[in-house]
Amino acid sequence: MTTPRSLRLLAATGAAAAALSLLSLAAPEARGKGPGAAPLAAPKLGVVVAVDGLSWPRLHGYRSRFTGGLSRLLAEGRLERACRYRHINTETGPGHAALGTGAPPRVTGIVANRWFEARGDGSLRQVYCTDVVREDPQNGDELLHPGPDNLRVPTMADRFVERYPEARVVSISGKDRGSIFLAGKTRSHSVWWWDKQSGRFVTSESYDPAAPKSAPIAAVVSRWNKRDGAGYLPARLGLLWKRLASVLAPAPPGEAAPVPAADLQTYQVPANGLGFDHDVSRHKDGYFGGLYASPFVDEVVADVALAVLRSADVELGHRETPDLLLLSFSAQDTVSHNYGPESEENLDALLKLDAQLGRLFEVFDRDYPAGKVVLALSADHGFLPIPESEERRDRSFSGGRLVYGSYPGTSYLARLNRALAEDLCLPAGSRPLHGSEGWNVKYDLPGLPALRTVEGPCGPAGRPVTSADLDRVLPGAVRRLFSEEVSDVLLVSERQTWNDNLPYVEFARNDFDAERSGEAILIPRPNVLMHWDPGRGTGHGSQYDPETHVPLVFWGDGITAVSSDSPTTPYDLAPTVGRLFGISVPDATGRPLAVGR
């Protein structure tokens, strides 16, 4: 694997960091547990923070620039420096489901942000990971609303309220899948996300904001929507996304610096224009769309979280029963997709998240007695740098992209369908592949019986085509067309004989769901992404380090402040937080870590 230069710089001080880790391990110190300290009472507030799209090397590489909440976590928390996902399709839905449940997609069923499944009549539909489908009683049409129904197992938060029936679970995010999959299935959970159509925080009919536990939180959110959201946002936040001066500060030795804007702009998606200051009102979806693709989206999430924490009616973490606050911050993801994780825009968003988390820590320090708050932070996935830009700066870099969508002549799926039609002697325009999501490929199984060969190398006309025929020719077609981007094709029909000695097979098995994963899984080469744009922007989804190596930090009085390089996974977060509250998470594949208290 060729590691991007921007991340190789972050690893340059690895030996020194390891030495510091050993020193830390030799003399661990837990907040609030000095000699003679009284035993800590049980915590009353558990906080989970998911930073959408943040890799550990990126967080660690900018460490000396932080002055707020991220600085506190890096200085006072237990740092699991070798935390990596073990599934392919490292996307927002699967990652948040993993953080919420402690398990990979093979357990949660959330195999990608979207997948294909059969309707009752056998036809295929695309399913977004939070889609709850029901039938309109008047006309039989499909009606959709966001909800947790696609989760196959309960979350840690669901187990939490089983153990503590009066507990309040509050989940807030810039995205529906962020708040829903951290929270889970219990209707009395308070689950809210920012709606970029209305500029307000919304929930879904899967949850009951009028329930006795939820009503006080719903009142707080409603008050924020009326006083601070929607049309009040431009006046409060402004139209311009301005860069912090510290973004341009020289990087200390051994730390990272963003790629200068002039070197990246050719390869950036101008969602909010190119170059600072970014006018968020120029976004194609209007001001709210621009806000969603900027650091402002994290600010509004923090605003609502702080309103809940300060509410005398909610009393989160101040009652006899413990409570959970689950937060997912989205700007690292939305900004990085357009401008790159190596960009000045990304660093600006991260520094502003540091400030928002600092606001939360001020409340924890002021309003919660020692030992009452425990916090865990991780991410749903990392990010690839923009491969074309990386290659321009570093000729040793190897990577690229497969393009999906409607760009003429560039869609990998259209090219692959043409090749398969030729190999199988099908009529021109045949589409034996229905679609792909992430690295999963879905055959058009309902449509295959109608396909018939034409006369040619395959023999006489009229022979039917089967999924076995597609299995036979698909790997060869992929090798011919995409050998630089794809290293292997795993056929689902052969999964019993997949070679488990190949390192990527574990990642594929951990993402596999018989009803949702399709009929084949493409295995990308390092630094290759699946993206809608043929040469701009970037993404995530593979099984390699840039997308799987994420932070895992635990913080709170009684939690040992040390750095560990022992291998861990984000699946460990839920059972670890659960154990701090005396809760078992039986569906988790992760393990509860010994973090102190």
Does some domain include residue 591? Answer: no
Q: How far apart are CA 83 and CA 378, in angstroms?
A: 9
Q: What is the CATH number of the domain that holds 381?
A: 3.40.720.10
Residue corresponding to tokens 């449509």: 447
In a shared domain, residues 488 and 554:
no
The ranges of the chain with pLDDT < 70 are: 1-39, 408
In a shared domain, residues 419 and 378:
no
* Domain that includes residue 76, residue range: 46-111+149-248+258-388+543-580
Q: How far apart are CA 583 and CA 133, in angstroms?
A: 32
Q: Please provide the DSSP assignment of 192-259 as one string.
A: EEEETTTTEEE--TTS-TTSTTTHHHHHHHHHHHHHTSGGGHHHHH-SEEPPPGGGGSPPPTTS--PP
Does some domain include residue 31? Answer: no
Does some domain include residue 88? Answer: yes
Confidence (pLDDT) at 135: 78
In a shared domain, residues 383 and 434:
no
In a shared domain, residues 340 and 291:
yes
Confidence (pLDDT) at 119: 87
Report which DSSP code applies to 453: P
In a shared domain, residues 455 and 575:
no
Does some domain include residue 366? Answer: yes
Does some domain include residue 127? Answer: no
Q: What is the CATH number of the domain that holds 457?
A: 3.30.1360.150
Residue corresponding to tokens 């341009």: 248
Report which DSSP code applies to 62: T
Neighbouring C-beta atoms of residue 532, cutoff 10 Å: 17
In a shared domain, residues 276 and 420:
no
Q: Which run of H or E residues covers position 241? A: strand 240-241
Strand partners, 490: 521
Nearest to 225 by CA among 327, 287, 306, 300: 300
Does some domain include residue 26? Answer: no
Q: Which run of H or E residues covers position 75? A: helix 69-76
**pTM of the model as a whole:** 0.93
Query: 552 Cβ partners below 8 Å, 6+ apart?
Result: 79, 80, 83, 376, 377, 378, 568, 570, 572, 573
Nearest to 188 by CA among 163, 162, 169: 169
Residue at which a domain ends, from 482, 499, 525: 525
Q: How far apart are CA 95 and CA 100, in angstroms?
A: 9
Residue at which a domain ends, from 525, 556, 589: 525
Does some domain include residue 595? Answer: no
**Alpha helices, DSSP H only, in 369-501?**
387-393, 412-423, 467-482
In a shared domain, residues 430 and 491:
yes
Residues 585/101, Cβ–Cβ less than 8 Å: yes
Q: How far apart are CA 106 and CA 283, in angstroms?
A: 37
Neighbouring C-beta atoms of residue 503, cutoff 10 Å: 9
Report which DSSP code applies to 484: T
Residue corresponding to tokens 């109608």: 450
Q: Which run of H or E residues covers position 376? A: strand 373-378
**Total domains, the chain:** 2
Respond yes or no on whether the N-terminal peptide bond of residue 277 is cis (omega within 30° of 0): yes
In a shared domain, residues 338 and 486:
no
Does some domain include residue 586? Answer: no
Neighbouring C-beta atoms of residue 589, cutoff 10 Å: 18
In a shared domain, residues 362 and 405:
no
In a shared domain, residues 383 and 405:
no
Confidence (pLDDT) at 138: 80
In a shared domain, residues 472 and 551:
no
In a shared domain, residues 66 and 215:
yes
